[in-house]
Amino acid sequence: MNQLTALQRRILESILDQYENSKTYSGENKVDQTFKVRVSKVWPEYLDDFTDVLEIEEFERQVTALAEQGLITIRCNDRDEMVSFAAKADQMDDYYKLLNRQEKKILLDEEIRMYQEFSRDHTALGAFCRRQVELMSSGKRAQYQMDRARNYLALLQAIIHNQEELYERELSIQVLGDSKLFEQSYRKVVCKLLRNYGEYEDILQGEDEERYIERFILEQHHIYANPNYVYFKGSASIYLQNGEVMEIKDSLPIALSSAFLDQVISIHPISKRIITIENLTTFHRYQNADSFCIYLGGYHSFRKTQYLKKIDAADEKNWLHFGDIDPDGYMILRNLRRTTGLDFQAYCMDADTLMKYRNYTKKLETQDITKANTLLGEGFYPEIMNMMLEENMKLEQEIVVYR
């Protein structure tokens, strides 16, 4: 046949699907099998009393054309209505050629080879690929369709081995050839795979908001939605790799890009008191001449950890964290301690402050209660955790500075 119609393709595809899922195809059959498809599966309207006669005639014409080419046999009932279409045993190769379709075995081998190419990688990419090979070797399907999986693998490889600051749309163009496709169609699954097969729990512990989880994971690989800046406030000298020294004054809050900060050798604040601040509004409002302030923006990235460690004589500084008086604020504080190794203490996050501004508090949500109990179990600031749970309230830090 020169060209198959959509209906004819559907009939042959259905027969091939049945054949490839059979014991005959796998070589396990003990009796000869017949492969056929019922009319109701191909076109349910055929036996409907309300179907247009001309449509029925066209349907029968197309099916008859397949039979006349020796590709199928047609079985009819006593009323001469078509019931099913069966394959001829020696026609399967012709089906593959007409449909331009590869055999399931060939596709499976190709799919396994695709995953085996990365299976020795010692990162989340390799762990994911080894799992897919394991699934297919045991007769199960891989998690994702092959065309999608190719892109997942390419994205995982690009993300995991990325060493320079890269924006999500640049990643999308680089791997997918489209600036928005990663965000629209791949970001969620790729981040899920990284989390499931990688090691990110230290930075994600207690976090359950998907958008934050995705951001934290990507930032570990220097990938950002937008250019990344760190805000500073207070007097300090910044020493650069080229020998220059940049001075920051109390009266001039400043934001420096990650690319610029990568050129920094060390930061020398005049004050011994370093305060990291969770929210940008609070950072701008907060005034204390005897402090060097850094805006973190919630959970900080791996890069920001490195910048904190560039502060001269870090172990001799008085490290404070000023965040929301809620379980998440203390999760951020705990994360700061773990990732930097610096002895951060809570600042303006105590029980007295919570009670002082209780008229501005909000009730705890389910995730707040879960996080508070997690921190209580670790003995992390038990007094304030118990108070939040008993009083069912939390406080955003902006009101503390505003009032």
Looking at the DSSP bridge assignments, the partners of residue 10 are none
Who has greater pLDDT, 307 or 365?
Answer: 365
H helices present in 198-342, as ranges:
201-204, 210-219, 258-261, 280-285, 302-309, 327-340
Confidence of residue 207 (pLDDT cuts 50, 70, 90): low
CA distance 384 to 326: 9
Shortest CA distance to 403 belongs to which of 285, 291, 290? 285
Who has greater pLDDT, 132 or 139?
Answer: 132
**343-382 CB burial, b ≥16 within 10 A, e <16:** ebebbbbeeebbeebeeebeebeeebeebbebbbeeebbe
Who has greater pLDDT, 326 or 219?
Answer: 326
Q: Convert the pLDDT of each residue in 28-75 to its tens digit.
A: 776 677 888 899 888 989 888 888 999 999 999 999 999 998 889 999
**Domain residue extents for the chain:** 6-101, 105-223, 227-402
Give the distance from CA 162 to its chain's centroid.
16
Give the SS3 label for residue 255.
Answer: strand
Q: Cβ–Cβ contacts within 10 Å for residue 225, how many?
A: 15
H helices present in 264-326, as ranges:
280-285, 302-309
CA distance 279 to 298: 7
Give the SS3 label for residue 274.
Answer: strand
For the domain made up of 227-402, give the CATH fold. Answer: Dna Topoisomerase Vi A Subunit; Chain: A, domain 2 (3.40.1360)
Looking at the DSSP bridge assignments, the partners of residue 238 are 246, 267
- Longest CA–CA span in the chain (Å) reads 99
Who has greater pLDDT, 342 or 315?
Answer: 342
pTM comes to 0.60
